[in-house]
């Protein structure tokens, strides 16, 4: 839901999760809501008041995919700023990306605002038209959590 997030007075904290699985896959979700509805991205969402960033990462991964995160590592930060035709800031998210390894037997299911999901092979990422900052977070996660 975007109510209260459009035309903010300050950035909103978003948390993304780079979930890696052997032999060389990353979990991608197709966004079900604005901004970027229909685009492939990482699981994630907005941090709630009183919630730590790591707790948010765990909650968002669970809500969108049904998966439980193992150890989390902060791997990237980015700003997503969307302007309207008049140049006013319509959305502004400061995004912290965490990474985790997911066990081979874990089953992911799209839920919440994830319209669908896939385990994408690293060598097939170009087919998903990912935002450059998502690619940067995946690359950072691969350095931190070599498979």
Has residue 4 been placed in a domain? no
- Find where tokens 């385990």 sit: 119
Q: How many Å apart are CA 81 and CA 89, to the nearest integer?
A: 7
Residue 56: CATH number of its domain: 3.90.79.10
pLDDT for position 2: 54
- Find where tokens 């209260």 sit: 4
Query: pLDDT for 29-54, tens place per residue?
Result: 999 887 678 999 999 999 999 999 99
Has residue 3 been placed in a domain? no
Has residue 6 been placed in a domain? no
Its pTM surpasses 0.75: yes
Has residue 99 been placed in a domain? yes
- Answer yes or no: 133 catalytic: no
Has residue 2 been placed in a domain? no
Q: Above 50 in pLDDT, residue 1?
A: no
Q: How many Å apart are CA 147 and CA 145, to the nearest integer?
A: 6
Average pLDDT over residues 100-115: 91
Q: Tell me the average pLDDT of the chain.
A: 94
Using alpha carbons, list the distances in angstroms from residue 82 to 67, 86, 126: 30, 11, 23
Q: How many domains, the chain?
A: 1
Q: What is the signed CA dihedral for 118, 113, 84, 95, rounded to 10 degrees? A: -70
Has residue 5 been placed in a domain? no
Own/partner pairs for 124-133, CB < 8 Å, 24+ apart? 125/26, 128/28, 128/40, 129/39, 129/40, 130/28, 130/40, 130/41, 131/36, 131/39, 131/41, 131/80, 133/76, 133/78, 133/80, 133/95
Parallel/antiparallel/unpaired status of strands 89-101 and 25-31:
unpaired
Q: Which of 54, 60, 116, 133 is catalytic?
A: 116
pLDDT for position 36: 79
Domain residues for the domain of 94 are 12-141
CB atoms within 10 A of CB 44: 27
Give me the percent of the chain exceeding a pLDDT of 70: 97
Has residue 117 been placed in a domain? yes
Has residue 60 been placed in a domain? yes
Q: How many Å apart are CA 86 and CA 63, to the nearest integer?
A: 35
Q: Above 60 in pLDDT, residue 16?
A: yes
pLDDT for position 113: 87
């Amino acid at each position: 839901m975007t109510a209260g997030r459009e035309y903010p007075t300050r950035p909103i904290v978003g948390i993304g999760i780079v979930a890696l699985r052997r032999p060389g896959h990353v979990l991608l979700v197709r966004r079900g809501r604005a901004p970027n509805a229909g685009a492939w991205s990482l699981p994630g969402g907005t941090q709630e008041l009183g919630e730590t960033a790591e707790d948010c990462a765990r909650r968002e991964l669970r809500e969108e995919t049904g998966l439980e995160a193992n150890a989390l590592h902060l791997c990237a930060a980015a700003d997503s700023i969307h302007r309207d035709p008049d140049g006013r800031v319509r959305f502004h998210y400061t995004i912290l990306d965490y990474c985790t390894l997911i066990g081979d037997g874990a089953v992911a299911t799209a839920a919440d605002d994830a319209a669908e999901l896939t385990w994408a092979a690293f060598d097939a990422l170009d087919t998903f038209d990912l935002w450059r900052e998502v690619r940067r977070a995946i690359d950072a996660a691969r350095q931190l959590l070599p498979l």
